[in-house]
Chain A
Amino acid sequence: MEQKIRFKLNNKKTELVTDPNQTLVWVLRNHFGLTGTKYGCGTGFCGACTVLIDNESVRSCMVPVSDVAGKSVVTIEGLAKRGKLHPVQQAFVDHDALQCGYCTPGMILTAVALLKKNPSPTRKEITEGLEDNLCRCGTHIRIFDAVEQASRVMKGGK
């Protein structure tokens, strides 16, 4: 029972014919080759597979691909514009806010969604926003700094 599903992927219209029950994470990785979206736990606990769906951060391992019909999906690969890193990506690089890098795409996209809703988060609000994204290497304190830098830059400051 394959179905045609149309949606926007990284700002480009796209469609595919597939089993609508396939999870978004594997469709992105396997069909579109967007492997920046990582598999971590398969049950929404870790956040490694986070993507943006209509600007909200969502765990793509919990979403059947049919759910994104008519919506806009942004993955880590769609964040940089014209070769320029998104301010959140740049802040992660500037602060060395990563080690193994496996949780990084999910962290960055969660932070992007957070800053969209709340451009000036306090440290407590950053904590709440990122709390359920797991990082095993322990780069948390650098991620705080990175998100704060991105917040300043996105508001036009430095």
Chain B
Amino acid sequence: MKKIKDVIKKESPEKGSSGMKRRSFVKILGGGIFIFFQPWSAFDLLGLPAEQARSLTKDYNAFLHIAEDGTISCFTGKIEMGQGVITSLAQMMADELNVPFERVKMVMGDTDLCPYDAGTWGSQTTQTFGPAMRAAAAEARAVLTDLASARLGVPASQLEVKDGIITDSKNPKNTVTYEQLAQGKKLEKYLDVKPTVEDYTKFTYMGTPYKRVDSVEKATGQAKYTGDLKLPGMVFARILRPPSHGAKMTSVDVSGAEKIEGVKVVRDGDFIAVISENKDKVDEAIVKINAEYSFNEMNVNDRTVYDWMVKAQSRSNVVRTGGDIEEGRRISSKVFESEYHDPYVAHAAIETHTALAVLEGDKMNVWAATQSPFGLQDAIVRELGMTREKVRVRTPYVGGGFGGKAAYQQGVEAAKLARLTGKPVMVVWSREEEFFYDTFHTANVIRVNSGTDKSGKITFWDYHVWFAGTRGAEVVYDVPNFKTTSYSENRSVFAVHPFGTGPWRAPNNNSNTFAREVQIDIMASAAGIDPLEFRLNNLKDEKMIACLKSVADKFGYVSGKTPSGRGIGIACGHDAGTWVAEITEVKVDKSTGKVQVVRIACSQDMGLCVNPEGALIQMEGCITMALGYTFSEEMHFEGGNILDRNFDSYSIPKFSWVPEIDCVILDRKNMPPKGGGEPAIIAVGAAVCNAIHDATGARLYRTPMTPERVMEALKKV
């Protein structure tokens, strides 16, 4: 049920959850019609802890503004980092408001102007935020229709809306536009709306492929990223960093840096930085600081970490269980035990963490490359002892995030330096800092014990996952006896990771899907059953079945027992509410161990696909990015010392790696939209691993599948 409270005359809330006074907000934006709404579904579905949700339940935030010049602005705390929501959100808005797509402007990631948002991640923008936004837009249209009814002197039911023009259906000359209705108004409406799924047959823009709205700006160098901003008197800063995580400074000599003309050293305890208007000078100065450190390294490295993790004192949690594992074992004709390893992986966005901060009066203004402007605002409030209304974070275009920019340390650093120096301070992390302070995808270990009976049915599934969490750890297949146990870090007892870890595109689903789908392939091969047929025989999940069948069709799959020598591999799974299946063909050079992916077909069920063009780009991007964790990406380290600090030793996908890519998006217009920014990345590793086995008979149990590891596996065939 929809409930509208018209509070034009009622006292409206003094402050938004961002802390900005509502009145000053209206002052900034001028007149027009404002629709404030509450993103119920985002709140419900994200299941935010109360503290994070802040005053969301009590307060309304500016959301939609119809300006006096007819510009329709949508204010959202989401940010654009390449995933294309700047286009898909505008499509949704245009559809519900019946205005030309070009008229909708997205204002994103500004803590003073936009509604609170926990962060842009988890493929949530379209699936949870989108429907709430559409509901508010639909209500806005109703408000406008009411205003038009009064103005044109005809009942609302007699009015038609097209392209932002409201027309009396009985007298086509009797019309009024949205901007005419907005002129001279300062109208605020407050909605309390549960979103519903609209009838897809009425969509004009949704479901239609749209080119990116930001491409001309980005192709001409006009698009502004945080590092592109400049304020009068701005200085660049470089901050002194320890040589490894956990190192403590024992002494420091900054005189070498101070001698450089135009450079100033700023110090607050162990927080030491150099500033200059000249970026090259700070780069030169920072290496002139001599500091001594004491080390208390954890005795672990990239080779020993798997053993270390299994032996660590961790928290174990049985996530799901059904049937009886021992009974499953008893009825099995074959049992399989495998252990899978997956390393720490870097985000490596091409834009490093960047922030600009300036203290103006008592207000800290910050611009940052972040996936979480409100999280950064809170961190500054906390660390600098400020109040929320005195900290404003804005998010220009973000040059890639992938989860890595959910962390915002650089924003806090810029704010600290702005306060210490009284100047606008630009912090641009160097590539080395970016690798050092990345919040890596966590290394993990997965052990799977499973069995099959004589007919090739899976009898049991005993799944143990260390430090990869449970995203993607579902059984997926129809197995009578199953148990999933997750082991996670218990920091109060023992810190497992020597450095920061965090979400990495489809967090840990890559790892879980890799282990599951490789294990499935091992069982299929042992049963002498074609791996597609084996999957279909053991699945009840209709969506998974449909994805597998459609991808087989797209690929032109011909069944065969593995290893067939053809180099074809299959994998499937689900993430962010979206189902995905992939089939790939690889060529393996048995003399070098080098693997080339020839082609990948991918089928996806993502519910209503708002922008098929954008969704396709995300699928292609996922598949291409996945080649990194599949073949090369692995963070090397000794204790807290990160050994890979640039793209020379840490290799990400390049043009020569890229296969032919064929994608299918299943037509599900009548279903709610689901996530599209992550799912297609999850199954590539397993599909390739299975394809290598199909080509050669060699089985790998870990990523990345480097030539050395492929050679090692080949020796065991």
Contact residues in B for A75 (Cβ distance below 8 Å): 221
A30 to B282, CA, bound (A): 14
Contact residues in B for A108 (Cβ distance below 8 Å): 219
Contact code string A32-54 (vs B, CB < 8 Å = 1, else 0): 01111111111101101000000
Could you tell me if B350 and A89 are in contact, using CB atoms closer than 8 angstroms? no
> Does residue B165 face the partner (Cβ distance < 8 Å to A)?
no
Could you tell me if A77 and B221 are in contact, using CB atoms closer than 8 angstroms? yes
Could you tell me if B225 and A102 are in contact, using CB atoms closer than 8 angstroms? yes
Contact residues in B for A11 (Cβ distance below 8 Å): none
Could you tell me if A136 and B215 are in contact, using CB atoms closer than 8 angstroms? no
Could you tell me if A85 and B216 are in contact, using CB atoms closer than 8 angstroms? yes
> Does residue A76 face the partner (Cβ distance < 8 Å to B)?
yes
Could you tell me if B647 and A45 are in contact, using CB atoms closer than 8 angstroms? yes
> Does residue A15 face the partner (Cβ distance < 8 Å to B)?
no
Known: A99-B82, A101-B218, A102-B350. A40 touches B431 (CB 8 A): yes
Interface of A is mostly: loop
A17 to B625, CA, bound (A): 43
A149 to B141, CA, bound (A): 42
Could you tell me if A134 and B350 are in contact, using CB atoms closer than 8 angstroms? yes
CB closest chain-B residue, reference A18: B278
A145 to B280, CA, bound (A): 37
CB closest chain-B residue, reference A65: B280
> Does residue B220 face the partner (Cβ distance < 8 Å to A)?
yes
CB closest chain-A residue, reference B620: A141
A30 to B277, CA, bound (A): 9
> Does residue A70 face the partner (Cβ distance < 8 Å to B)?
no
> Does residue B529 face the partner (Cβ distance < 8 Å to A)?
no
Interface of B is mostly: loop
Could you tell me if B350 and A46 are in contact, using CB atoms closer than 8 angstroms? yes
Report which of A96, A99, A132 forms a contact with B654, defined as CB distance below 8 A. A132
Could you tell me if B216 and A93 are in contact, using CB atoms closer than 8 angstroms? yes
> Does residue A21 face the partner (Cβ distance < 8 Å to B)?
yes
A89 to B220, CA, bound (A): 7
Residue of A33, A76, A99, A103 contacting most chain B CB atoms (<10 Å): A99
Could you tell me if A137 and B625 are in contact, using CB atoms closer than 8 angstroms? yes
Q: How large is the interface on B (under 10, 10 to 19, 20 to 34, 35 or more residues)?
A: 35 or more
Known: A48-B350, A99-B84. A39 touches B428 (CB 8 A): yes
Known: A104-B219, A108-B219. A135 touches B350 (CB 8 A): yes
> Does residue A56 face the partner (Cβ distance < 8 Å to B)?
no
Residue of A26, A38, A101, A108 contacting most chain B CB atoms (<10 Å): A101
Interface positions, chain B 276-315, Cβ under 8 Å from A, are 277-280, 283
Report which of A77, A96, A136 forms a contact with B349, defined as CB distance below 8 A. A136
Contact residues in A for B620 (Cβ distance below 8 Å): 138-139, 141-142
> Does residue B212 face the partner (Cβ distance < 8 Å to A)?
yes
> Does residue A6 face the partner (Cβ distance < 8 Å to B)?
no
A30 to B253, CA, bound (A): 30
User: In angstroms, how far is the closest chain A Cβ from the Cβ of B516?
Assistant: 24
Could you tell me if A136 and B219 are in contact, using CB atoms closer than 8 angstroms? no
CB closest chain-B residue, reference A64: B280
Could you tell me if A105 and B221 are in contact, using CB atoms closer than 8 angstroms? yes
A144 to B624, CA, bound (A): 13
Could you tell me if A138 and B621 are in contact, using CB atoms closer than 8 angstroms? yes
Could you tell me if A98 and B622 are in contact, using CB atoms closer than 8 angstroms? no
Contact residues in B for A101 (Cβ distance below 8 Å): 82, 214-215, 217-219, 223, 397, 399
Residue of B220, B222, B428, B655 contacting most chain A CB atoms (<10 Å): B655
Could you tell me if B658 and A141 are in contact, using CB atoms closer than 8 angstroms? yes
> Does residue B81 face the partner (Cβ distance < 8 Å to A)?
yes
A76 to B646, CA, bound (A): 25
User: In angstroms, how far is the closest chain A Cβ from the Cβ of B335?
Assistant: 39
Report which of B215, B349, B400, B431 forms a contact with A42, defined as CB distance below 8 A. B431
A135 to B647, CA, bound (A): 12
Could you tell me if B431 and A127 are in contact, using CB atoms closer than 8 angstroms? no
A100 to B431, CA, bound (A): 18
> Does residue A131 face the partner (Cβ distance < 8 Å to B)?
yes
Could you tell me if B219 and A34 are in contact, using CB atoms closer than 8 angstroms? no
Contact code string A84-97 (vs B, CB < 8 Å = 1, else 0): 01000100111010
Interface positions, chain B 425-439, Cβ under 8 Å from A, are 428, 430-431
Could you tell me if B220 and A76 are in contact, using CB atoms closer than 8 angstroms? yes
User: In angstroms, how far is the closest chain B Cβ from the Cβ of A94?
Assistant: 8
Contact residues in A for B653 (Cβ distance below 8 Å): 138, 140
Interface positions, chain A 112-158, Cβ under 8 Å from B, are 126-128, 130-132, 134-144
Contact code string B645-673 (vs A, CB < 8 Å = 1, else 0): 01110001111101001000000000000
> Does residue A14 face the partner (Cβ distance < 8 Å to B)?
no
Could you tell me if B351 and A98 are in contact, using CB atoms closer than 8 angstroms? no
Could you tell me if B218 and A104 are in contact, using CB atoms closer than 8 angstroms? yes
Contact residues in A for B397 (Cβ distance below 8 Å): 100-101
> Does residue A69 face the partner (Cβ distance < 8 Å to B)?
no
Could you tell me if B350 and A127 are in contact, using CB atoms closer than 8 angstroms? no
A40 to B613, CA, bound (A): 28
Residue of A35, A41, A132, A137 contacting most chain B CB atoms (<10 Å): A137
Known: A41-B646, A98-B215, A131-B656. A34 touches B625 (CB 8 A): no
> Does residue B76 face the partner (Cβ distance < 8 Å to A)?
no
> Does residue B461 face the partner (Cβ distance < 8 Å to A)?
no
Could you tell me if B215 and A140 are in contact, using CB atoms closer than 8 angstroms? no
Contact residues in A for B217 (Cβ distance below 8 Å): 101
Could you tell me if A96 and B647 are in contact, using CB atoms closer than 8 angstroms? no
> Does residue B607 face the partner (Cβ distance < 8 Å to A)?
no
Could you tell me if A100 and B351 are in contact, using CB atoms closer than 8 angstroms? yes
CB closest chain-B residue, reference A26: B279
Could you tell me if A92 and B219 are in contact, using CB atoms closer than 8 angstroms? yes
Contact residues in B for A128 (Cβ distance below 8 Å): 656
> Does residue B491 face the partner (Cβ distance < 8 Å to A)?
no
> Does residue B402 face the partner (Cβ distance < 8 Å to A)?
yes
User: In angstroms, how far is the closest chain B Cβ from the Cβ of A21?
Assistant: 7
Interface residue ranges, A against B (CB under 8 Å): 19, 21-23, 26, 29-30, 33-43, 45-46, 48, 75-77, 79-80, 85, 89, 92-94, 96, 98-105, 108, 126-128, 130-132, 134-144
Interface residue ranges, B against A (CB under 8 Å): 81-84, 211-212, 214-225, 227-228, 230, 277-280, 283, 348-352, 397-402, 428, 430-431, 613, 617, 620-625, 646-648, 652-656, 658, 661
Known: A93-B216, A99-B82, A144-B655. 9 other contacts (CB 8 A): A35-B227, A36-B222, A96-B215, A100-B399, A137-B82, A138-B620, A141-B624, A141-B661, A143-B655
